[in-house]
Amino acid sequence: MADILVLGATGTTGSRVAAFLGERGIVARPATRKPDSAAQVRFDWADRATHAPALHRVSAVYLVAPVGVTDPVPLVEPFLEEAVRQGVRRVVQLSSSAVPEGAPGLGALHSLVHATMPEWAVLRPSWFMQNFTREHFVAQGVRGGEIVTATGDGKVAFIDATDIAAVAVHALIDEIPHNTAHILTGPEALSYADAAAIVAQRTGTPVRHRSVTADELARHFTGHGVPADFAALLAALDDDIRAGAEDRVTDTVERITGRPARGFRDFAESEIR
């Protein structure tokens, strides 16, 4: 089997995909803008000269779109065309449960991947449990004792990135291509107030949820350096959660991997300090 190119290989899901492939004895080619080992390959969405070398002798690609770009199609389309020219058969794209096919931004990539590649899958995970750790705005709120969103009482079935990566590996290497979109969730839908209470119980320190309007949240993001158009997009997604768009649970993780998706309480006990 030829190599599998893993874009975003130092990121939350890409690093896990590369590790899982390695555990199965499959050569993963981790791509990053700043390689720090011989095993990694340089890749930069904005530098097309890096695309062809990264795709050489590759059979499949785990595709993470350029971060913070509201319209990724102009960057991704020539990359996919180069992939087809080099004989790449399969692309598994990371997207979001909040973005349907054909919607602006990531949604436009769904159609592009489907139309361009002989074999494909689109992963549409819910919000990551890992947003409650590291440097995400939610994690910063956890450390400060207040999570700020525009979600109101809306619920989200938060998903562990490890479960996303497990599904991604199946989509990359299963003999029969999936050729579909997968909505991936955890096993339970929770409001941010519910999640804050679980985190507070785990840490022993107060953590509350404060809901604001979408406009207020957008201003909050821009005040922390997020470009205005991307801040508005993020705030609008929160508003969709408020309206119930993410209040759903699927069995996709268990159906594809053979094991249940991880629950938020288990994640908090293990990962949140």
Read off the amino acid at residue 199: V
Is CATH 3.90.190.20 the right assignment for the domain spanning 3-125?
no
Name the nearest CA neighbour of 190 among 124, 264, 268.
Answer: 264
Contact 139, 12 (CB under 8 A): no
At 211, which helix (H) or strand (E)?
strand 208-211
CB contact set of 50 (below 8 Å; sequence gap of 6+): 42, 43, 44
Cα 211 off chain centre by: 24
> What does each of the 273 residues of the chain score in pLDDT, given as a tens digit?
579 999 999 999 999 999 999 999 999 999 999 888 888 999 999 999 999 999 999 999 999 999 878 789 999 999 999 999 999 999 999 999 998 888 888 889 999 999 999 999 999 999 999 999 988 999 999 999 999 999 999 999 999 999 999 999 999 999 999 999 999 999 999 999 999 999 999 999 999 999 999 999 999 999 999 989 889 989 999 999 999 999 999 999 999 999 999 999 999 999 988
pLDDT digits (tens, 9 = 90+) for 30-55: 999 988 888 899 999 999 999 999 99
The fourth-level CATH superfamily of domain 127-159+185-247+258-273 is UDP-galactose 4-epimerase, domain 1 (3.90.25.10)
Q: Is the dihedral of CA 17, 26, 87, 43 positive or negative?
A: positive
Left, alpha or beta for 134 (phi > 0: left; psi -120 to 50: alpha)?
left
pTM over 0.85: yes
HSE-CB of 217 using CA atoms within 13 angstroms = 23
Structure tokens at 181: 């979109």
* Domain parsing of the chain, residue ranges: 3-125, 127-159+185-247+258-273
